Amino acid sequence: MKLDTNWQASEQTSINLNDARGSIVFRNVVKKYGTVQAVNGLDLEIDRGELVTLLGPSGCGKTTTLRMIAGLELPSTGTIAIGGTDVSRLPATYRNVSMVFQSYALFPHLTVLDNVAYGLRMGGLKTPLAREKAEDALSTVGLAGFGSRLPSELSGGQQQRVALARAIVLEPEVLLLDEPLSNLDAKLRRYVREEIRTLQQRIGVTTVYVTHDQEEAMAVSDRIIVMEQGKIAQAGSPADLYHSPQSAFIASFIGEANLISCIASTVANGDRVAKIGEYRFTVPGSNVSEGQATLVIRPAAISFSTNADEGMPSMITSAAFLGDRVLYSIETPIGRLFYVEYTSSIRHPDRTEINITLDPAKLHLV
Amino acid sequence: MLGLAAYCLLPWYGVDYGIFELDWIEAGGLLSEAGASGLLRLFLFSDGAMAIPAIALLLLVAVGSTPQLSRRLSMFSMAATIFALCAIIIHAMAGAGPMRSFGYGSTIILTVLFLSGTNLWSRLGKGNRDAFVVSSIAFVCALILLFVFYPIAQILVQAFVNKQGIFNVLGALNIATGGDIWSIGCLVGRSRCGVAVNSIILGLLTATSTTILGLAFALLMSRTRFPGKPLLRALAVLPIITPPFVIGLALILLFGRAGFVTDTISNLLGLEASRWLYGLWGIWLGQTLAFTPIAFLVLTGVVQGISPSLEEASQTLRADLSATLRTVSLPLMKPGIANAFLLAFIESLADFGNPVVLGGGDNVLSTEIYFAIVGAQANMMRAAVLSLILLALTLTVFIVQKRWLGRTDFTTITGKADNGANSMLSRGHKVIVYGLTLPWMLFTTLIYVMVFYGSVVKLWGQDHTLTLAHYKEAFEVSWSDGGIWWKGAAWDSFWTTISISAIAAPLTAGLGLLTAWLLVRQKFAGRSTFEFLTMLSFAVPGTVVGVSYILAFNNAPIELTGTGTILVLCFIFRNMPVGVRGGVAAMKQLDNSLDEASLTLGANSFKTLRHVVLPLMRPAIVSAIAYSFIRAITSVSAVIFLVGADHNMATAYIIGLVENGSYGLAIAYSTVLIMVMLVVVTVLQVAFGKRRLRREDRIGQQLSRPVVA
């Protein structure tokens, strides 16, 4: 039994990319399926104890990246290091990484307790001891006393917590979560994502979280890595991504935004000016190159003006009441914009003529 | 990987000190020349070649206990392993003096060397480094090559090489183009047709009739409110547990010269009793009875696979029920119907039981092969050539079915939830369906009643007094000298059949499910070829398998004819595709993330298979075992060539009885076999049902507790 683990370890030549246990480093990783490139020369660094979200539309390579960290897929080329050790060719069985699956993947023929104890027993722990540790893990996720049930006898939220307990009981270097909230109803989601965040902070495990929901990503992450077509589009804290998007893709993907094409030019003090038709908007603190660009107008940058001489003459083309807010669509000289007003009733019905102004401090050029 | 390494280590040690010395023990003591172990051969009989495996094994033991293995060392030991494997095989084939068969020792050593080789290969970083997966793939491939393709290659050799060992294409061509095989005389009304033409005509007739009846039954099952559906299901299962010639026997009892119906009609109308049943028409009737349930099972899936929303859409577009069936449902079913047709065609070509019982003067390929071997002239070359023709026919149809129909399947389930119900049949179609199915159901029921009745009358056609004499003759048991004396004539072959089938069934299911697991869950180069090869053995007719096994395993290095082993092997490789199919279907229902979860939790692929996949597949395993058991008991075509004096199988024994005209005894024996299989199926069904009950109990019990959300 000993023989093979030793041998496996011997093949792991340490490349010492990072001393910290729990760090993840991707160097020029490519994953091809036949002729399709799912991941396309990815460089990635995740620090110990961080909760990082891989965010992106479906097919962007985020799940493939997660599965390569797990060892369920091996990269076609490039290297992956976990905890400073090259694991590029090491299959999942031998990696110190746990994963919570989208479907939870609880073994239907085993009780909740045996599900949680499974990894411990596979690691060679005696059954009574494994069960004891599994009980502890179950109480960590608030499911003490549920051990003797079958997974099919639990609610979706409870199953999710069993999957989490099964992953963390192994005290992995890295915890992977693949769209963990997608099978829960909307109300439960917010509660569970807070729980996941709290638990992660408490045990301090490096966590990689895959989702396509930007709100979920912003709520739980230390850092968000937005992926597009197998590459990183932009990485940073939720606030970074929201306030200084580097591309129209990021701007539209993180938070809601109106994207208007414009011509950018530089003025004396170094600020940029966006020119759309006869309108000019000063955008301070931007360093976009001159020429064709995109002006990002968050709904928060828009305000209604009662002064007829100020701003752009516009017309409301639709107003939808959503309870706590009203969603407006506005026809303006620079194009159609949407705007959100937090009020309890529609103040400007359809076909109202109105003047709107843009707050320069809340505009971005990309 | 860990488990397999340990598994491999044990035999290595064992081989040196234990099993090696058991070698060739059956041929007389260890010290005799013939019975010596490899080790003793090396020293006592100065057989230098015996040193090679010893050195290779010692090297492997040394390498196996070294935790750290350099790339070069593993390459070297792999080369050594391969060399030793080749050396042993060449030594056996080209050894001086008469060729000797492999004994226990050499078989085990060969297996160990082979598995070590694959293990080392996986250590070199191939195949995701999972030794279990790599070894399994190599193991299954090697077995299929050895027990499916090697025997068929032997047929080729036999067909083209004459007695003097000279390559002889002309001789083979001469046989292959002979008028007795390809003559179409019967079509133009002159004389008899050739056997191949007979086979093809029969295949087309049977395929047409079974497909039409099967479709009618499938429509009856899923598109009408027919009250007798449970009965229909039972009738569909019955032929599976019926030995293939039993229906032929029942037909003889009804329509044969002394048949019940023949008698009645000739008495009423004063007609001369004719022999029309013995020939192509009789075989056609028998095969239609036997294979309609298969077409029914295939077509039920097809009919139910039509999305109800398509039919509902058609009806909202102002098509009535009849037009919907004609313009939407039937065109969508076309590939499925073609599939059922081709399957029935293959079954008909491969069938041996019905033609041998009902054939009379009209021979088909499968029976002609049999008579070429057991007949007076014992012409192996002719048998081989005929086998190749039969094989070519079935393989062509099989490949057509896989390659051409594989692409045009409209009925695959999309995974989208489909609401609504399939439309019922229109009045006109209902009349047709009922008109076809009800008489046929009655006929099938009558056949089975006849089987039972035939077994309890004294002498069919002459003395219809009821008696249990046939059962007594076959299965009499008496007490003598304080022990049971199995006095009946059938006991011997009965126990052989049961024990050989019982040995073969779990092995078949195991190998089939392992293959299914590799196919569904593992990615490896050549996977689709691998799949094709495993399914290909399904298309090899039993008669051909029988001939090929005689040719391949009659001489050293693998001499198995006349033993029970060859029967077990034959069943395993003939029925394995059934296990593969069942396993693939069951495994596709299991979410792959369960396997992946197990892997990320630190289990290797062997442990995952053992702790996650197998427990979840239990129903599939049970039915695979049951089905292989039943197929082993009922098979005739391959078995009839392989039975020996010591190992006679029930079906071969019954065929013998039929040839002697002992219909009563044959039918009594068949009835008992059907009963035994019915019991086996029922018992397994109950065991299978139990698992569900336990599950429901548990849920009921849990529901009474307050559920904390």
Enumerate the residues of chain A whose CB falls inside 8 A of the CB of residue B596.
Answer: 70, 72, 92, 99, 101, 105
Task: Please say which residue of A243, A272, A295 terminates a domain.
Answer: A243
Query: What is the residue range of B13's domain?
Result: 1-125
Share of residues in chain A with pLDDT > 70 (%): 95
Q: Are residues B462 and B472 in the same domain?
A: no
Specify if B146 maps to a domain. Answer: no
Chain A residue nearest residue B704, CA to CA: A153
Find all residues with CB under 8 Å of B79, minimum gap 6, and list them. Answer: none
Chain B residue nearest residue A9, CA to CA: B68
Judge whether residue B393 has pLDDT over 80.
yes
Specify if B132 maps to a domain. Answer: no
Q: How near does any CA of chain A get to the CA of B404, in Å?
A: 24
Q: Are residues B384 and B236 in the same domain?
A: yes
Q: Are B126 and B601 in contact (CB under 8 A)?
A: no
- What is the rounded average pLDDT of the residues A167-172? 92
A333 or B477: which leads in pLDDT: A333
Q: How near does any CA of chain B get to the CA of A25, in Å?
A: 19
Q: How near does any CA of chain A get to the CA of B704, in Å?
A: 12
B37 touches chain A (CB under 8 A): no
Chain B residue nearest residue A151, CA to CA: B699
Specify if A34 maps to a domain. Answer: yes
CB atoms within 10 A of CB B183: 18
| Structure ipTM | 0.78
Specify if B155 maps to a domain. Answer: no
B269 touches chain A (CB under 8 A): no
B616 touches chain A (CB under 8 A): yes
By Cβ distance, the residue of B6, B594, B600 closest to A70 is B600
Q: Are B158 and A42 in contact (CB under 8 A)?
A: no
Specify if A134 maps to a domain. Answer: no
- Please tell me the predicted confidence (pLDDT) of residue B25: 37
Chain A residue nearest residue B703, CA to CA: A153
How many domains does chain B fold into? Answer: 3
Cα torsion for B168, B171, B173, B174, to the nearest 10°?
170
Among the listed residues B521, B530, B512, the one whose alpha carbon sits nearest the alpha carbon of residue B587? B521
Specify if A131 maps to a domain. Answer: no
Chain B residue nearest residue A89, CA to CA: B128
Judge whether residue A78 has pLDDT over 50.
yes
Among the listed residues A202, A348, A153, the one whose alpha carbon sits nearest the alpha carbon of residue B697? A153
Question: A10, B602: Cβ pair inside 8 Å?
Answer: no
Which pLDDT tens digit goes with each residue over B517-530? 888 887 777 777 88
Among the listed residues B110, B104, B64, the one whose alpha carbon sits nearest the alpha carbon of residue B86? B110
Residue type present at position B291: F
Q: Are residues A63 and A195 in the same domain?
A: yes
Q: Are residues B528 and B662 in the same domain?
A: yes
Q: Are B309 and B420 in contact (CB under 8 A)?
A: yes
Share of residues in chain B with pLDDT > 70 (%): 65
CATH number for the domain spanning B652: value is: 1.10.3720.10
- What is the rounded average pLDDT of the residues A102-113? 89
How many domains does chain A fold into? Answer: 2
CA distance A13 to A174: 20
Q: Are residues A304 and A181 in the same domain?
A: no
Judge whether residue B211 has pLDDT over 60.
yes
By Cβ distance, the residue of A1, A92, A105 closest to B591 is A105
Confidence grade of residue B70 (pLDDT, cut at 50, 70, 90)? low
Specify if A279 maps to a domain. Answer: yes
Q: Are B355 and B290 in contact (CB under 8 A)?
A: no
Judge whether residue B277 has pLDDT over 70.
yes
For chain B positions 69-98, those within 8 Å of chain A (CB to CB) are: 69
Query: What is the residue range of A287's domain?
Result: 256-365
Question: B601, A153: Cβ pair inside 8 Å?
Answer: no
- Please tell me the predicted confidence (pLDDT) of residue A45: 92
The answer to which of A5-14, A353-362, B56-65, B435-444 has the lowest mean pLDDT is A5-14
- Please tell me the predicted confidence (pLDDT) of residue A100: 93
- What is the rounded average pLDDT of the residues B44-58? 53
Confidence grade of residue B133 (pLDDT, cut at 50, 70, 90)? confident
